[in-house]
Amino acid sequence: MTTKINWKKGRGKLGILQPLMGTWKAEADSPMGKVSCTRQFQPILNGHYIQLTATWQILTKVYTETAIIGLNDKLISFWSFTSDGKKSQGHLALASDVHPQAICFEAQMPAGLARMIYWPDLHEGFHWAVESKTKAGWNRFTHHHYKPTNN
């Protein structure tokens, strides 16, 4: 059974993230082998923030990320912390070149500008991609199709 998600924003400034709320799972092939990733989005601190918890399973290794999404000077922003000790922060951006309803965050990384994009799938769940900015445009190096879990 497929589950087409309702890609409509909710109330308030963070309502744009409403389509992502819940727990989602993707499985994909990668240069390091088969990868499984679970992403959970949930409101925290009386709904003033959204917490993303991502757990990556790559072969026998587990990699985790905790990100907090909220307002920073009226701009929707994120702060991300990973199990390998890295951190990043960025803000909401446009990605209409990917999909008219895309939810995109950009961050300045050590290697340059990067973006993380979520957009609805026509049949089930959503797509997620990570891209880096090049002189020629955006270079996609990760793409997953997330489907809802039963948890």
pLDDT in tens, 95-125: 999 999 999 999 999 889 999 999 999 889 9
Question: Of 48, 50, 52, 45, nearest to 23 (Cα)?
Answer: 52
Distances (CA, A) of 124 to 61, 144, 147: 28, 13, 6
Question: Of 38, 30, 28, nearest to 64 (Cα)?
Answer: 38
Which CATH number does 13-148 carry?
2.40.128.20
pLDDT in tens, 2-20: 556 678 888 989 999 999 9
Spell out the domain ranges in the chain. Answer: 13-148
